[in-house]
Amino acid sequence: MPSLSALGSLAGIIASIPSVMAGFDPTSQSNVAVYWGQNSYGQGSGAYVQQRLSYYCQNSEINIIPLAFLSSINTPVLNFANQGDQCTVISGSTLFYCSELEADITTCQETYGKTILLSVGGATYTEGGFTSTQAATTAANNLWSWFGPDTSGDIRPFGTAVIDGFDFDFESTVSNMPAFGDQLRSLMDTDTNKTWLLSAAPQCPYPDAADGPMLAGTVSFDIVWVQFYNNYCGVQSFVSGVSTQNNFNFDTWDNWAKTVSLNPNVKVMLGIPSNTGAGAGYTSGAALASVIAYSKSFSSFGGVMMWDMSQLYANAGFLDAVNADLGKPAVTVPVTTSTITSTSTSKSSITSTTTSATTTTPGSTLTTITTTSASPTSTSGPLVNEWNQCGGQGWTGATNCVPGTTCVAYSIWYSQCNPN
């Protein structure tokens, strides 16, 4: 039997090793992914301004951090909002060298065991894909050269640091993407030194307009974190107490994972906004707990994705609550609760605007469109309460908002009643 001193030494050694569970675990339903890089809470200074990557990697409640974004591929551009100030131009390239990120990626992986992905796309991506399959293949090879395992190249934005994979966040139709994704997947599979991951961030309407061709059994993904916000099928549409949902469609994506996905073991994660300003349909408390419990009843469920880090850290207690909810049992028919929702639009006057690069959400351009407001005499039908859905493609419910609110469209799929 080992001595107490030997056991103490062993315990110390074990404690110094980052937990395997710290990164993505394909066997777990409790993975948590949070996008970093866009400072979408919008603070230029103070407690809630976006911090360097390693600051967030210390948080044991986060497993996966996608870096947002590589916003252009053919003419490569990295956009990390305020953290881009720490980078310098690489001679002869449109890319930057980010020495702080080089150090932080390594620290996050080796000290804290985090899974670090590079997200490609975002709301400002406008290239529309590639002119041919050959151009797509060449682009994938370039990406592998810039961010893959061979660190000897001249163009290495993260220097000797090597990420754990790539995330696709395309928000509009893109051409020849299956060839791009398939080539990148092939390159990943040839590297036997580490496990590479490929993820995508489609919107919840199925099939997704942007990622659809890649998700149609043509590219093998490890994770798909579906954006259940800014759309009619978001978490705010979940109805407690029933097993069949009319709008919230995690069951559709679970069926995709089992019958369409090229990878039969793909994990589907519940994508949610992490604060009221992070996306339309923000949901919290008992309502979110019911959504998570219901989603956990599907075998493909792999955890929760949140947009984004700066919004999350400005919303005290939300991450703790999500982790607590993930630790609870799955419930096929959850208990009845009231839905707690909010909007990403402030209480100031609403105009037609599109978010900038530093306020984008993964997988969807958030365009606020003002539509008609309701008045007590405008209709004899039912009125929609503040924060509830009032329109969108496929919507069959009431469309007139209660007095003092206006029906605002966030996408072709989802509109809700916001205060004037």
List the catalytic residues. Answer: 171
Question: Would you state the structure tokens that stand for residue 117, as one six-digit string?
Answer: 């992905």
Measured CA distances, 313 to 36, 39, 132, 166, 405 (Å): 11, 11, 42, 24, 29
How many angstroms separate the CA atoms of 315 and 261, rounded? 35
Q: State the Rg of the chain over Cα.
A: 22
How many angstroms separate the CA atoms of 95 and 162, rounded? 16
Tell me: cis bond preceding 222? Omega within 30 of 0 counts: no
How many angstroms separate the CA atoms of 81 and 185, rounded? 28
Backbone angles phi, psi at 119, to 5 degrees: -90, 130
How many angstroms separate the CA atoms of 174 and 164, rounded? 24
Question: Would you state the structure tokens that stand for residue 329, as one six-digit string?
Answer: 């049992």
Task: Confirm if 270 and 326 have CB atoms less than 8 A apart.
Answer: no
Q: What is the DSSP letter of 203?
A: B
DSSP 138-184: HHHHHHHHHHSS-TTSS--TTTT---SEEEEE--S--BTHHHHHHHH
What is the rounded (10 degree) CA torsion for 66, 72, 73, 76? -100
Nearest Cα to Cα of residue 395 among 231, 230, 210: 231
Q: Exposed, middle or buried, 365 (CB in 10 Å: 0-12/13-18/19+)?
A: middle
Helix 318-326 × helix 285-295 angle, to 10°: 30
| 3-state SS assignment for residue 412 | coil
